[in-house]
C-alpha cells in the first residue's frame, strides 16, 4: 500500500514506464496518460500495453487500464488511461507532472495548473516549460538533473548498444500493417526476414536478440520504427528495464526531491 505523492506521467512508453517503476518503488501513486494507439517497440517493459490488453506488468509493478472519468490514483500499482490531452489532470490534481512523451522537440503544453513539471530529454527549457529537465541521451549522462537550460539536442543517431547504433533498429520499408515472422526474445541472424510491412520484408541488418517489436497488425508509415535487435544476444532479457531507464527514473526522483515533492532520503 502506498500513500505517497500523486504523480501524473504523460506517456507510457519505455522511458515513461521506467520512470513509473521508480516512482512506484519510491511510494508514489502514479497515473499514466497515453494516446489511443501507442506503437511501443519494447512492449514487455511498457505500461502502454495496458491500452490494448487491459493490464500490463513491468518489473513486478502492475498497471491497470481505467476509463478516463473513472481513473484515480491507486494505492497499489499504476493506473493507465487514454488521455493524450491530459483532460483528466485538473480533476485528479497531481502534486507533480512528468512529461515523458519523448517528442524530442517542444511538446504541446499540458494543463498542469500549478503543479511542478519535470520534462524528459530535449524540447524542454527550465524556467520556460519545465521546472526541471532530466537528461535522456546515452552519451550525455542519462539521469542528470538540469536546473538551468535544456537537455542535449537530439542527434538522430540511436545510442550505441553492443557496438551497434542504426543497424540495430528495424524500420518499416513501406506503409502498412506488420505481419511478424519473429517474436520478442527470438535470436535472429543477419539477413533474416523478421516480418512484412505492406508486403515488403523487414530485414535484420545484424544478428542478435529481438529485444522489441511492435504489436502484430500495427499500422505503420514508411520509416516507422518496427523493432530493436540487441547484438549482445541471449544474455539480454527483454523483460528487464534497462540501466538507462532506471538512471532516468532515478533522475526524476532527484528532480522531484529538489522541487520539494518528495522528502529528502533519511
CATH of the domain at 98: 3.40.50
Looking at the 3D structure of the chain, how many domains does it have?
A: 2
Q: For residues 177 and 115, state if they share a domain.
A: no
Quick check: is 1 in a domain?
Answer: no
pLDDT digits (tens, 9 = 90+) for 29-84: 999 999 999 999 999 999 999 999 999 999 999 999 999 899 999 988 999 999 99
Residue 1 confidence class, pLDDT cut points 50, 70, 90: very low
- Looking up cell 544474455, which residue turns up? 235
Q: For residues 56 and 146, state if they share a domain.
A: yes
In this prediction, residue 2 carries a pLDDT of 61
- d(CA 255, CA 142) in angstroms, rounded, equals 13
Q: For residues 83 and 200, state if they share a domain.
A: no
In this prediction, residue 154 carries a pLDDT of 80
In residues, how long is the chain?
A: 266
Q: Any alpha helices (H) in the chain, and if so which ranges? A: 14-25, 50-53, 89-92, 243-258
Grid cell, residue 69, equals 472519468
Q: For residues 67 and 178, state if they share a domain.
A: no
Q: For residues 62 and 91, state if they share a domain.
A: yes
Quick check: is 160 in a domain?
Answer: no
Domain that holds residue 173: 166-231
Residue 162 confidence class, pLDDT cut points 50, 70, 90: low
Quick check: is 144 in a domain?
Answer: yes
Question: Among 130-144, 172-186, 202-216, which stretch is predicted with the lowest mean pLDDT?
Answer: 130-144
In this prediction, residue 144 carries a pLDDT of 96
Residue 197 in contact with residue 179, Cβ under 8 Å? yes
Quick check: is 236 in a domain?
Answer: no
Please spell the DSSP secondary structure of 32-70, one letter per residue.
EEE-SS---SSGGG-GGGHHHHSEEEETTEEEEE--TTT
Q: For residues 113 and 203, state if they share a domain.
A: no
Quick check: is 21 in a domain?
Answer: yes
Q: For residues 222 and 90, state if they share a domain.
A: no
Q: For residues 68 and 142, state if they share a domain.
A: yes
**CATH (domain of 178):** 2.40.50.100
Quick check: is 238 in a domain?
Answer: no
Average model confidence (pLDDT) across the chain: 93
pTM of the model: 0.94
Q: For residues 133 and 85, state if they share a domain.
A: yes
Quick check: is 70 in a domain?
Answer: yes
Q: For residues 204 and 83, state if they share a domain.
A: no
pLDDT digits (tens, 9 = 90+) for 96-139: 999 999 988 888 889 988 899 999 999 999 989 999 999 998 77
- d(CA 70, CA 30) in angstroms, rounded, equals 15
pLDDT digits (tens, 9 = 90+) for 232-261: 999 999 999 999 999 999 999 999 999 999
Quick check: is 194 in a domain?
Answer: yes
Three-class SS of residue 256? helix
Q: How many helices (H) and strands (E) does the chain have?
A: 4, 17
Supply the Cα-derived Rg of the chain in whole angstroms. Answer: 18
State yes or no: pLDDT of 202 exceeds 50. yes
In this prediction, residue 139 carries a pLDDT of 77
- d(CA 64, CA 196) in angstroms, rounded, equals 31
Three-class SS of residue 9? strand
In this prediction, residue 163 carries a pLDDT of 75
- What angle in degrees, to the nearest 10, is found between the helix axes of 243-258 and 14-25? 60
- d(CA 78, CA 26) in angstroms, rounded, equals 13
Three-class SS of residue 171? strand
Q: For residues 115 and 20, state if they share a domain.
A: yes
Q: For residues 181 and 56, state if they share a domain.
A: no
Amino acid at each position: 500500500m502506498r500513500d505517497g505523492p500523486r504523480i501524473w506521467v504523460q506517456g507510457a512508453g519505455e522511458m515513461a514506464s521506467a520512470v513509473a517503476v521508480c516512482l512506484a518503488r519510491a511510494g508514489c501513486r502514479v497515473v499514466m496518460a497515453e494516446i489511443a494507439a501507442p506503437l511501443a517497440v519494447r512492449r514487455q517493459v511498457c505500461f502502454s500495453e495496458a491500452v490494448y490488453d487491459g493490464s500490463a506488468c513491468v518489473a513486478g509493478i502492475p498497471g491497470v487500464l481505467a476509463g478516463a472519468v473513472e481513473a484515480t490514483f491507486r494505492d497499489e500499482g499504476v493506473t493507465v488511461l487514454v488521455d493524450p490531452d491530459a483532460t483528466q489532470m485538473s480533476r485528479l490534481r497531481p502534486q507533480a507532472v512528468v512529461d515523458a512523451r519523448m517528442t524530442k522537440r517542444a511538446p504541446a503544453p499540458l494543463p498542469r495548473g500549478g503543479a511542478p513539471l519535470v520534462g524528459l530529454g530535449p524540447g524542454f527549457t527550465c524556467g520556460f516549460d519545465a521546472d526541471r529537465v532530466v537528461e535522456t541521451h546515452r552519451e550525455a549522462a542519462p539521469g542528470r538533473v538540469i536546473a538551468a537550460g535544456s537537455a542535449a539536442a537530439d542527434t538522430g543517431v540511436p545510442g550505441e548498444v553492443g557496438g551497434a547504433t542504426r543497424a540495430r533498429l528495424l524500420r518499416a520499408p513501406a506503409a502498412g500493417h506488420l505481419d511478424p515472422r519473429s517474436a520478442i526474445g527470438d535470436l535472429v541472424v543477419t539477413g533474416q526476414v523478421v516480418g512484412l510491412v505492406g508486403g515488403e520484408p523487414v530485414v535484420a541488418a545484424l544478428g542478435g536478440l529481438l529485444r522489441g517489436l511492435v504489436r502484430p497488425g500495427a499500422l505503420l508509415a514508411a520509416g516507422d520504427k518496427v523493432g530493436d535487435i540487441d547484438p549482445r544476444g541471449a544474455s539480454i532479457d527483454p523483460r528487464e528495464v534497462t540501466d538507462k531507464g532506471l538512471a532516468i527514473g532515478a533522475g526524476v526522483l532527484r528532480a522531484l526531491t529538489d522541487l520539494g515533492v518528495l522528502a529528502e532520503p533519511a
